Amino acid sequence: MSSGNGTKRIGIFVCHCGLNIAGVVDMEKVVTEIRKYPGVVYAADYQYMCSDPGQNLMREAISEHRLDAIVNANCSPSLHEKTFRNVAASEGLNPYNLEIANIREHCSWPHANDPEMATRKAIAIIKATIDRLKLNAALEPAVIPLKKRALVIGGGIAGMQSALTIANTGYEVVLVESSPWLGGHVSQLSSTFPTLDHPACLIEPMMAEVASHPRITLYAYAEIEEVSGYVGNFVVRIRKKASFVDTAKCDNCGLCFDPCPVSVPSEFERGLATRKAIHIPFAQAVPQRPVIDNESCIHLIRVKSQGKGDSRLQTPDSRLLDGSECRACKEACPAGAIDYSQQDRLVEEEVGAVIVATGHDLISRDVLGEYLSDPDIIDGLQFERLLCPTGPTRGAVKRPSDGKIAKEVVWISCAGSRDTERGVPYCSRVCCLYVAKQTLLYKRAVPDGQAYVFYMDIRSDVMGTEEFVQGMVEKSRTMYLRGQASKIFRDGEKIKVWATDTLTGKDIEIAADMVVLALAMVPSTTARVLARKLNIICDQHGFMTEAHLKLRPVDTLTSGIYLAGTAQWPKDIPDTLASASGAASRILSLFSRAVLLHEPAIAFVNERVCVGCEQCVSVCAYKATTLDPDKKVARVNEAVCEGCGACVVACPSKAMKHKNWTPRQFFDMVDVFAQEYVGEG
């Protein structure tokens, strides 16, 4: 076997990178040495090879010296491999006949103190890359069909923004929301900082547009069951949960609500009001259709338990009802829309790309031991409901315990955030600002009331918010006290808050009517399960992780899947919408192509050698390798393989190989270094 394609006419382009490389590595010596290396017909150096003159220098040399293989010695291939491969392609070369020798990150930077050694190492790196290049094959990208249809998971403000952006560009969108209604947390807010807009003005037009959009298929009250396939070709199984109300017949008359004997805490009102088993959470909910909750409907519980166990339920007025007898909503419905026999249905949708916009929850109060369970200690979202004109108190700031107007209210910032011991280490980013907003609105609602805020720092980095907080403090005369509460406990009518003001060093005791905890934002409970189905990564907290914090902030590492909103990390509404628009635009850019071209430098299988041990299958993070059940050999899905090489490492016989990174190429490169450094220990 030949150790190289001797016919390749190899050109070497060495970049100074200003003084980044040339300040350490002796350029002249590198070029002189490399010119002598077998196979090299041309070598040149230049100050910035990536600049226009640098690229032109390459083009001219390629045509003048009839180069058909090139090594560019410069920075990491993650930066300019593409640039130089495009240059090569523009001169008619196969781009995979160009390789990068990294003499900056791997050489001049770490060895800045030893120019002589760095020069020697740079020469070795280039020589090794030349030997690898000699065995490079010309590769053509794999062509993958593309279904120009998107799936958006989550019908909050992020999901709706993404869905509308894509749909309004002309592509179909499947929107899946796990709750029966659109809107997410924004629909629960009383107003938004710093402009004090009514959130309904933000999301109700969006909800209406989503619901009636000809290119959006909305599955509300539905969950992602299973995702298979890959970019351009995902197959999604969606579980449509039974609502027990036939939407075709229901005309939203609302006559079913009152007769229902079951009252349970309303999720939408965060327990500050009750709802019936058959319910709509709020007047403007979209889609406008009631749902029977099978966890609380006594008829359905009875049906589910099939006579086993206790089917009877204690109702708030202490009557005991036998569920099977209750058909109150069915009897009240003039349209005959109630259907207790409805079952979950599975539907399948084919999409080319996915946006995950599953939002967040608030941290459980249980982990924060010192905030005892008391009806008058509420969380920030509950206070939003109190402030809301359509909320349980019609906007009056009444104590949940006795309905009295709260005259002294204490806010605790960072309840769970920035708390490595019991809570989460990160900052939830929105609390400082919504607490400021809430104290302002509180002062408007209760002009003779007094607001206190315990805080660690005030973080108001978003445009306009610093002014907002400063202005608010002047207007509302809120007492900002720097320090964390040490003890909160009930004392008769009041809730006592003990704390130390760390600015004055004084101990403080406040007898409050109500305490509001600005609880930390945490990922929604289902995030990890969903991430596993999508084969994307979560961080240690369960937030979904982007491919690159700076360069690919809305991509995931699984191509074709993107992130929007607070599923990724705590965000305010502007950041949420920016990421939602970003994710949508990533999909639109994907859909702007006729087909997908996939990087061809990936893994491939030598079937003759493969023994079917499946070690490559277990290590593949992308689920690109599978076992052919008939031939009992591994298969690589060209559309999914990212060329990471884990399977090649796992394969003991190297039946699994990486294109242009074959074992022989590795050994040839090792050989170069071994010759360079032999006998040096």
Partner 1 sequence: MPQSAVLKVKDGNLPNAIKDFLKGLLEKNLVEALLVPVELPSGNNVMLTLVTKVEKLEDARPLAPVMPVNAAKIVSTLTKLAPSEKKIGVILRSCELRALTELVKLKQADLTNLILIGIDCLGTCSVATYGMFCRENASPAEEFLKRVADGDDSLLREACRICEYPAPINSEASDITIGLIGMDWKEGILLQAASPEGELIIDALELGAEGDPSQREAALAALTEERIRQRDLLLQQTEQELKGQDNMLQLLAPCVACHNCRIACPICYCKECLLDSPTMVEFEAEKYVSWAEQKGALRMPADSLLFHLVRLNHMATSCVGCGLCEDACPNGIALMKPFRLVGLRVQRLFDYLPGRSLDDELPLTAYREEEFGELGYK
Residues lying near partner 1 in the complex (CB under 8 A): 1-3, 608-615, 618-619, 627, 632, 650, 652-655, 662-664, 667, 671, 674-675, 678-679
Structure tokens at 393: 């108190």
For 486, the 3-state DSSP assignment is strand
Q: How far is the CB of 667 from partner 1 (least distance, A)?
A: 7
Q: Name the residue nearer to partner 1 (CB basis): 268 or 426.
A: 426
Q: How far is the CB of 137 from partner 1 (least distance, A)?
A: 15
CA 478/CA 126 separation, integer angstroms: 66
Q: Name the residue nearer to partner 1 (CB basis): 143 or 674.
A: 674
CA atoms within 13 A on the CB side of 6: 3
CA atoms within 13 A on the CB side of 469: 19
The residues, any chain, with a CB within 8 Å of residue 186's CB and separated by 6 or more, are: 156, 157, 192, 199, 202, 203, 573
Q: Contact, 352 vs 232, CB < 8 A?
A: yes
Q: Name the residue nearer to partner 1 (CB basis): 456 or 649.
A: 649
CA 596/CA 352 separation, integer angstroms: 10
Q: Kindly report the CA angle at 439 between 438 and 444, in degrees rounded to 5?
A: 95
Cis omega (within 30 of 0) on the bond before 281? no
Q: Name the residue nearer to partner 1 (CB basis): 247 or 675.
A: 675
When computed from its CA atoms, the radius of gyration of the chain, rounded to whole angstroms, is: 32
Q: Name the residue nearer to partner 1 (CB basis): 6 or 214.
A: 6
Q: How far is the CB of 231 from partner 1 (least distance, A)?
A: 23
CA 172/CA 676 separation, integer angstroms: 59
The count of other CB atoms within 10 Å of the CB of residue 663 is: 11
Q: State the alpha helices, DSSP H only, in 567-662.
A: 573-591, 615-619, 646-650
Q: Name the residue nearer to partner 1 (CB basis): 138 or 670.
A: 670
Structure tokens at 361: 């929850």
Q: How far is the CB of 2 from partner 1 (least distance, A)?
A: 8
Q: Sign (positive/negative) of CA torsion 650, 653, 659, 661? A: positive
Q: How far is the CB of 643 from partner 1 (least distance, A)?
A: 19
Q: How far is the CB of 356 from partner 1 (least distance, A)?
A: 21
Q: How far is the CB of 3 from partner 1 (least distance, A)?
A: 6
Q: Name the residue nearer to partner 1 (CB basis): 349 or 671.
A: 671
Q: Name the residue nearer to partner 1 (CB basis): 489 or 677.
A: 677
What's the one-letter identity of residue 377?
I
Q: How far is the CB of 645 from partner 1 (least distance, A)?
A: 14
Q: Name the residue nearer to partner 1 (CB basis): 9 or 654.
A: 654
Q: How far is the CB of 548 from partner 1 (least distance, A)?
A: 20
Q: Name the residue nearer to partner 1 (CB basis): 334 or 663.
A: 663
DSSP 110-143: TTTT-HHHHHHHHHHHHHHHHHHHHTPPP--PEE
Q: Name the residue nearer to partner 1 (CB basis): 494 or 654.
A: 654
Q: How far is the CB of 363 from partner 1 (least distance, A)?
A: 22
Q: Sign (positive/negative) of CA torsion 553, 556, 559, 564? A: negative
Q: How far is the CB of 94 from partner 1 (least distance, A)?
A: 23
Dmax over Cα atoms in the chain, in whole Å?
A: 97
Q: Name the residue nearer to partner 1 (CB basis): 366 or 630.
A: 630
The residues, any chain, with a CB within 8 Å of residue 312's CB and separated by 6 or more, are: 298, 320, 321, 322, 323
DSSP 293-346: -TTT-HHHHHHHHTT-S--EEE-TTS-EEEGGG--HHHHH-TT--B-TT---EE
The count of other CB atoms within 10 Å of the CB of residue 608 is: 7
What size, in residues, is the chain?
Answer: 681
CA 382/CA 268 separation, integer angstroms: 9
Q: How far is the CB of 666 from partner 1 (least distance, A)?
A: 9
